[in-house]
Amino acid sequence: MGVRLLSLETLKKIREIEEEAKKTIDGAEAKVQEIIRKAEKEAEKIKAKSVEEGKKEAEKIVEEARKAVEEKAKKIEAEAESQIKSLREKASANMDKAVERIIEEVLGVKP
């Protein structure tokens, strides 16, 4: 029939080769898992760092805005103070005239 049976030794050798090939693939697969795990870990680190960085940037923006707006508010308050001062000066200069007008109204006749 032309069929030649493989010897035990040959079979053993083939099994050894298959074992070695499997080992090589398994080793590579472990390395693959390690590469992916490492990359994912690194990715998480990058994202976590960016969250921190984002927070810091945000705090800086808000803080700078707060300082700027507080300056603006101070200016508005200073303008108001100056307006009040001017009102007091005008009132002081015109008080007699205003009082005279009130008295005229109450008396019903011109003083």
The interface with other proteins within residues 15-44 (CB under 8 A) comprises: 17-18, 20-22, 24-25, 27-29, 31-32, 35-36, 38-40, 42-44
For other proteins, the closer CB: 2 or 98: 98
Query: Do the beta carbons of residue 103 and residue 111 sit within 8 Å?
Result: yes
State which of positions 82-101 bind other proteins (CB under 8 A).
83-84, 87-88, 90-91, 94-95, 97-99, 101
Distance CA 15, CA 30 (A): 22
Residues, the chain, total? Answer: 111
Tally of CB atoms within 10 A around 12? 11
Q: Which is nearer to other proteins, 1 or 23 (CB)?
A: 23
Shortest spacing between CB 2 and other proteins, in angstroms: 14
Q: Determine if 71 is a binding residue for other proteins (CB under 8 A).
A: no
Which backbone phi and psi does 66 adopt, to 5 degrees? -60, -45
